[in-house]
Amino acid sequence: METRRLQFLLELSRHGSMRAVADVLGTTTSTVSQQIAVLARETGAPLLEPDGRRVRLTPAGRRLAEHAVTILAAVEAARADLDPQAEPAGMVRVAGFATAVRRSVLPAVAALAEHHPRVRVAVSEYEPAEALAALLADDVDLALVYDYDLAPATVDPEIGVTPLWTAAWGLGVPAADARRVRGEHTLAVFDAFRDHDWIGNSRNDADEDVVRTLASIAGFTPRVTHRADNLDLVEDLITATGRGVGLLPVGRRTGPGVTVLPLSDPDLRQRAFGCTRRGRAAWPPLASMLRLLAK
C-alpha cells in the first residue's frame, strides 16, 4: 500500500466529493479518482460505491480512512524525528469553546502564520461535549474542552489530554444583592443565594454539575431557571431578572448591575484541556499547535 494515496482517501472522507479533494490537494478530479482506484487495488477491497451521481466510501473505505489518520500522523512524526528541522505542514482542525478560541487559539493561529506558514488551521466554535463527539468522529484533530476542579469530567480512554490553563471563577450576582454576603467562603456565598434563579449552560453540563455539587454541600437544591452558553447573556439574565445568579470568571469586566463574588475554601477553578485521539499528538502540525496553546 502506497501511504501517500491514503491522503486522497482521507480527504474524500472529510470533504465528500472528488472536486473538493482536488481543490484541497491542488490537483484534478481525475487524479483523485485514479489514486483511490489504485489504492483499492493495493488493498484488495472496494473503497467507493455509487451514491446517486456522486460516490461515497464503502464500510471498508471508512475503516481505512480512520486508519489513514493514524498512519499519516505516524509518517509525519517519523519524518520529523529523522529531520527535526523539517517544516510542519498540513491542516489542523480545531473545535473549542469560545473563551478558549479567543484566549488561546487565535494567538496560536497568528503565531503559526508567522513561523509555520505551511500549517493551516480550521476553527469551529463548539461546547466541550460537541467538540469531543467531533473528535471521536474524526471530524476535528483537536478539541478544546473545560471542566471545574470541584466537578472533574471523565474522558474517553481513546482520548489523550493535555492540560492548558486554569482560571478562577466566582458567582455573578445582582450588584444590589452583593452586599448581603460577608466573606468569600464558597458555601456561605451559595447559601446566601439559595432562593435565586440559577443560570446554567444550555450546551454543556459542566457549569450545572459544579453548581449542583456545591449547592448540595451547602444544603439546598438550586432552582436552575435559565440556561445560556454566552457569558454576556448570563450577565443580561442577572440584571434583567434581578433574581438571576450564575458562574462567571473572576476579574471579568462586568456591567454596572453585576458583581462577581470570589469563592474560597474551596476555591472554584475552571480547567482547560486540549484533547486529541491517542497516538496523534506527535503529528508535527498538531504538536506545534499544542505547544503554542500550552504557553
Q: What mean pLDDT comes out for the span 69-73?
A: 81
More confident residue, 74 or 12: 12
Same domain (yes/no): 72, 114 = no
How confident is residue 184, by pLDDT bands cut at 50, 70 and 90? Answer: confident
DSSP code of residue 152: P
Cell numbers linked to 255: 456591567
Say what the pLDDT of residue 225 is.
Answer: 95
Same domain (yes/no): 178, 255 = yes
Are 161 and 274 within 8 A, CB to CB?
yes
Any residues with CB less than 8 A from the CB of 77 and at least 6 apart, and which? Answer: 282, 283, 284
Q: What mean pLDDT comes out for the span 271-289?
A: 89
Cell numbers linked to 25: 490537494
**CATH code where residue 284 lies:** 3.40.190.10
**Residue owning grid cell 442577572:** 238
**Residue owning grid cell 478539541:** 143
Same domain (yes/no): 125, 207 = no
- Among candidate residues 28, 57, 82, the one where a domain is terminated: 82
Instruction: Enumerate the β-bridge partners of residue 95.
Output: 124, 143
Count other Cβ atoms within 10 Å, centred on residue 284: 21
Same domain (yes/no): 189, 264 = yes
Dihedral Cα 212, 214, 216, 219, nearest 10 deg: -130
Say what the pLDDT of residue 36 is.
Answer: 94
Task: Tell me the C-alpha distance between 186 and 206, whole Å.
Answer: 18
Same domain (yes/no): 248, 280 = no
Same domain (yes/no): 250, 200 = yes
Q: What mean pLDDT comes out for the span 40-64?
A: 91
How confident is residue 262, by pLDDT bands cut at 50, 70 and 90? Answer: very high
Same domain (yes/no): 194, 58 = no
Task: Tell me the C-alpha distance between 9 and 71, whole Å.
Answer: 12
What total of structural domains would you count in the chain?
3
Are 11 and 17 within 8 A, CB to CB?
no
Q: What mean pLDDT comes out for the span 190-205?
A: 94
How confident is residue 81, by pLDDT bands cut at 50, 70 and 90? Answer: low
Same domain (yes/no): 66, 113 = no
Task: Tell me the C-alpha distance between 252 and 271, whole Å.
Answer: 16
Say what the pLDDT of residue 144 is.
Answer: 97
Mean pLDDT of the chain: 90
Given a cut of 70, is residue 287 above it in pLDDT?
yes
Same domain (yes/no): 252, 194 = yes
Domain region containing 193: 166-270
Say what percent of the chain tops pLDDT 70.
Answer: 97
**CATH code where residue 57 lies:** 1.10.10.10
Same domain (yes/no): 16, 67 = yes
Q: What mean pLDDT comes out for the span 141-152?
A: 94
Q: What mean pLDDT comes out for the span 251-279?
A: 92
Say what the pLDDT of residue 162 is.
Answer: 93
Are 144 and 101 within 8 A, CB to CB?
yes
Same domain (yes/no): 172, 266 = yes
How confident is residue 80, by pLDDT bands cut at 50, 70 and 90? Answer: low
- Among candidate residues 82, 109, 132, the one where a domain is terminated: 82
Say what the pLDDT of residue 269 is.
Answer: 96
How confident is residue 209, by pLDDT bands cut at 50, 70 and 90? Answer: very high
Say what the pLDDT of residue 84 is.
Answer: 63
- Which of 51, 18, 24 has the alpha carbon at shortest distance from 37? 18
Say what the pLDDT of residue 83 is.
Answer: 65
Say what the pLDDT of residue 293 is.
Answer: 94
Cell numbers linked to 274: 486540549
Given a cut of 70, is residue 98 above it in pLDDT?
yes
Given a cut of 70, is residue 180 above it in pLDDT?
yes
Given a cut of 90, is residue 136 above it in pLDDT?
no
The burial class, CB within 10 Å (0-12 / 13-18 / 19+), for 52 is exposed
Question: What does DSSP say about strands 197-200 and 159-174: parallel, antiparallel, or unpaired?
Answer: unpaired
Same domain (yes/no): 140, 230 = no
Say what the pLDDT of residue 125 is.
Answer: 95
